Amino acid sequence: MPTTPKAVLTLSDFTQLIESTDKIVLVSFWAKWADAQCEQMNGAIAELRKDSVVDSAVTFATVEAESLPDAALRAKVTSVPTIVIYKKGTIVDRIEGANVPELTKKLRAHVDTNVAATQQLPIEEKLKQLINKEPVMLFMKGSPNQPRCGFSRTIVDILKSYKVKFGHFDILQDDEVRQKLKEFSNWPTYPQLYASGELLGGLDIVKEMVESGELLDNLPIEKDNLTERLKALINRSKVMLFMKGSPDQPRCGFSRTICSILKDRNVTFDHFDILTDEDVRQGLKEFSNWPTYPQLYANGELVGGLDIIKEMIENDEFDEAISS
């Protein structure tokens, strides 16, 4: 699915954005005082990105012109909204004002040129570029908003449930890619999920990773996005236990006790072993303002640790907290 356009906050990020890719880069310069016109162009961009060809060929970003004046000056922006289109760090086009037809015409012309050049690449090079287009790439039938097979729909739902940002390619739109990718990756079916340019597998493999709690560990989530990762983990199941070890092999007495309580009360729960990930172990303490483990969550909210759980059971409050 189209990811949210990158909000550029520093000049160095801006420079890296426009100079470090062979893709088209579209930067939307905006300001709060011109909100109505800027939103009109944002809506037009969102519509253009529904076309997977456009979304695959272009990197989209936004810059608040008054908050990053050096970038606006470098792009020669004198009014907002202004859309600036770059190729390899060079300005190749611009659209000033809320001019949707001009934006559509110019962007599609640049995309068509790039696509034509890409189609002339050897197929293996084309596949490598597609696989590495985003840190997480899904080759599927249809689009995330309109999947065209049940397997594709299911894997999209899984990624969305974990709040994973991912790019996609509709293999129904290009039969050469559809056939050759099977050979390239030695994987005969679709969908296919890639992370950091490497094949993770199809739907069955992704389901196994979900069941074992390994999916997020295999995805390239930056440490800057630890908060988003923690939110995804907390919401992975209606009842989620962060513990030492696993329910079958607890590695501390407190974790063993809380697992026994949940099992005795027939509570269905998922778990995460905080001993396997120091970032999660330390980050969750700060995120939830709770210094110890285990930690039990229900419906995305912290219930508490072992002492709190015992108190809630004694006060007949536990079942309601878990089921609400």
The CATH number assigned to the domain holding 286 equals: 3.40.30.10
Please tell me the number of Cα atoms within 13 Å of 227 on its side-chain side. Answer: 4
Q: Are residues 153 and 241 in the same domain?
A: no
In this structure, the dihedral spanned by the alpha carbons of residues 322, 211, 215 and 229, taken in order and rounded to 10 degrees, is 10
On average, the pLDDT of the chain sits at 89
In this prediction, residue 11 has a pLDDT band, given cuts at 50, 70 and 90, of confident
Q: Are residues 208 and 231 in the same domain?
A: no
261 in a domain, yes or no? yes
Of 92, 120, 148, the residue at which a domain comes to its end is 120
The count of structural domains within the chain is 3
Is the pLDDT at 222 greater than 60? The verdict is no
Return d(Cα 84, Cα 29) in angstroms, integer.
8
> pTM (2 decimals)?
0.44
Q: Which of 153-167, 183-197, 210-224, 273-287 has the lowest mean pLDDT?
A: 210-224
Phi, psi of 87 (to 5 degrees): -135, 120
Q: Are residues 190 and 242 in the same domain?
A: no
- Segments forming the whole domain that contains residue 170: 127-218
Q: Quick one: which of 176, 112, 165 has its CA closest to 138?
A: 165
Q: How are beta strands 167-170 and 136-140 bridged, if at all?
A: parallel
Q: Are residues 115 and 42 in the same domain?
A: yes
1 in a domain, yes or no? no
pLDDT at 165: 82
Of 120, 148, 163, the residue at which a domain comes to its end is 120
Q: Are residues 297 and 199 in the same domain?
A: no
Helix 100-119 vs helix 123-131: angle between axes, to the nearest 10 degrees? Answer: 130
Tell me what percent of the residues of the chain surpass a pLDDT of 70. Answer: 95
Give mean pLDDT, residues 108-117: 81
Of 218, 249, 267, the residue at which a domain comes to its end is 218
Give mean pLDDT, residues 232-259: 93
Q: Are residues 58 and 73 in the same domain?
A: yes
